[in-house]
Amino acid sequence: MFDQSFSLAAQLSITWHVIPLAVVVSLVYSASRFELPEAILQRSARLFGTILLFMGVVFLVLYLLSFGL
Amino acid sequence: MPSESSDSKLFRDRIPLKNPYVAAALAWLLPGAGHFYQGRYFKAVLYAVCIWGTFLYGLQLAQWRGMYYQFEAGNTRYGFIAQAGIGTPAILSYVQARRYQASNSKRNDRGALQHNDFSRINEPVQSEFRATNDWLRLFEEVDSLEGEVHLNEPVGQEGFGTDYHGIFTGTMNGDTQVTVKVAGLSLDRGVGCEDWRLLKCKVMESSDPRLKAGQIIFGAVPRPVQDWLFVPVDDDMLQSLNRQLGKLFELALVYTWIAGLLNVLAVWDAFEGPAYGYGDELATDEDEKKRKEASTKAAENESSKSDAKLSTSEATS
């Protein structure tokens, strides 16, 4: 069961693995900065958005640079 | 980074750190345990789920071969330093590496550990046994052997003159029941990265004429999880994992590294408390500002009222 659900996730494109990683990093990082659950969740949501935005910009830049290659 | 107000300087007094050394040690050994000990249950659950989830997912993605201790000239796993942010698997990896070295003396030209050195059995073995066509190339009419082997204790002195016996009972080619007496047994070493051990034996007597006396059977017996998990992975296994998983293997390692590094933050949080504050400082600072603004406005109103009163009294006089 544990292995099966994990192997299903493993079949996803490698890019999608970045999203849970970004969620985990923002949650743990924010938890190490604040104590109140509301503050942790708020900050981690904001950090998650920032990470996604940053990755989106990088993706766009790389996409434009590789256009026509 | 938000500036610490006088209130927030005291925020650590609001957090029950108990004995921070014990908490940090627990947090290192088992992510979440340090915070659980301190009674910070929300954080304990958050750290446990996030860090264990990331670590175990990575480990599973790498077919449980993503973490092992190997620091040798020309064959060093620097990623282990990041993974060692989680204590229990790091300690287990170190122990397994020592056990592996103790059970292995053969190395190839590059100094890498090899796994195919057979040793003679020195203990009774009763185990599942499986041999497929690849292993049974000497037997033209035999495709597979599956069943149980019972290997007896060696008789006589170690070396020349030692005799080993065993009995295989099971099915041949998936349907025919066979009993085979075997001898000249040798077994792959106890601790290794595969979840099976290679078994080599010679047929002495068989209930089926297709298994001829004197021929050699190569097969596999299962290796218990405590003898392969966190054990150093050899070159063959690494190549096979890279071939099988490709980029996913690298991704799996990245997951375990990130989990280890994130636990460093959790350990520090258990030892020192959160880095910025309790989390309500900004709100209280804003309240304070609003209160001050309101009081200055009220004071201004008061003074303008008194000024107006004064001017009207001056006018009447």
Q: Which pLDDT tens digit goes with each residue over B18-29? A: 999 999 999 999
CB nearest to A35's CB, from B51, B248, B279:
B279
Residue B297's pLDDT is what?
A: 79
Answer whether residue B110 shows pLDDT above 50. no
Burial B175-202 (b: 16+ CB within 10 A, else e): eeebebbbebbebbbbbbbbbebbbbbb
Residue B2's pLDDT is what?
A: 46
pLDDT digit string, tens, across residues B250-291: 999 999 999 999 999 999 999 999 999 888 876 666 667 777
Does residue A60 sit at the B interface (CB-CB below 8 Å)?
no
Name the band, by pLDDT with cuts 50, 70 and 90, for residue B35: very high
Indicate the range of A30-39, B42-51, B119-128 predicted with least confidence: B119-128
Residue B87's pLDDT is what?
A: 97
Sign, Cα dihedral of B55, B61, B63, B67: negative
Residue contact B269–A36, C-beta within 8 A: no
A30 within some domain: yes
What average pLDDT does chain B have?
Answer: 83
Q: Which residues of A touch B276 (CB under 8 A)?
A: 33-34
Name the band, by pLDDT with cuts 50, 70 and 90, for residue B143: confident
Residue B52's pLDDT is what?
A: 98
Residue A13's pLDDT is what?
A: 77
Q: What pairs with residue B151 in β-bridges?
A: B125, B166
Residue A53's pLDDT is what?
A: 97
A7 within some domain: no
A46 within some domain: yes
Range of the domain at A24: 13-65
Residue B10's pLDDT is what?
A: 62
As a whole number of angstroms, the longest Cα–Cα distance in chain A is 50
A5 within some domain: no
H/E stretch holding B60 reads helix B53-61
Residue B240's pLDDT is what?
A: 93
Contact between B83 and B54 under an 8 Å Cβ cutoff? The reply is no
Sign, Cα dihedral of B97, B109, B184, B158: negative
Chain B interface, best mutation among A3, A7, A15, A35, by max B CB count within 10 A: A35
What CA–CA distance (Å, rounded) separates A52 from B85?
26
Q: What pairs with residue B148 in β-bridges?
A: B128, B169
Q: Which of residues 64-103 of B touch A (CB under 8 A)?
A: none
Better pLDDT: B304 or B54: B54
Q: What is the average pLDDT across B302-314?
A: 69
Which of B7-16, B83-92, B301-310 is the most confident on average?
B83-92
What CA–CA distance (Å, rounded) separates B179 from B252?
44
Does residue A55 sit at the B interface (CB-CB below 8 Å)?
no
pLDDT digit string, tens, across residues B207-251: 988 888 888 888 888 999 999 999 999 888 999 999 999 999 999
SS3 B41: helix
What CA–CA distance (Å, rounded) separates B67 from B37?
27
Terminal-to-terminal C-alpha distance of chain A: 43
A6 within some domain: no
What are A42's two structure tokens? 């708020």
CB nearest to A34's CB, from B51, B61, B278:
B278
What CA–CA distance (Å, rounded) separates B237 from B115?
10
What CA–CA distance (Å, rounded) separates A41 from A47?
10
Residue B154's pLDDT is what?
A: 61
Residue B80's pLDDT is what?
A: 97
What CA–CA distance (Å, rounded) separates B230 from B97?
8
What are B317's two structure tokens? 């006089």
Percent of the residues in chain B that have a pLDDT greater than 70, as a whole number: 79
**How many Cβ atoms are within 10 Å of B288's Cβ, its own excluded?**
12
What average pLDDT does chain A have?
Answer: 88
Which of B106-120, B252-266, B270-284, B302-316 is the most confident on average?
B252-266
Sign, Cα dihedral of B26, B31, B35, B36: negative
What are B168's two structure tokens? 């295989």
The complex scores an ipTM of 0.86
pLDDT digit string, tens, across residues B160-212: 555 667 899 999 988 899 999 988 777 778 889 999 888 888 888 999 888 88
A61 within some domain: yes
Indicate the range of A42-51, B106-115, B125-134, B300-309 predicted with least confidence: B106-115
For chain A, the domain total comes to 1
What are B21's two structure tokens? 């050394």
Q: What is the average pLDDT across A11-23?
A: 86
Does residue A21 sit at the B interface (CB-CB below 8 Å)?
yes
A32 within some domain: yes
As a whole number of angstroms, the longest Cα–Cα distance in chain B is 137
Answer whether residue B46 shows pLDDT above 70. yes
CB nearest to A39's CB, from B248, B255, B279:
B279
What are B150's two structure tokens? 């019972």
Q: Which residues of B touch A14 (CB under 8 A)?
A: 247-248, 251
Tell me B294's DSSP state. H
Name the band, by pLDDT with cuts 50, 70 and 90, for residue B300: confident
Answer whether residue A11 shows pLDDT above 70. no
A1 within some domain: no
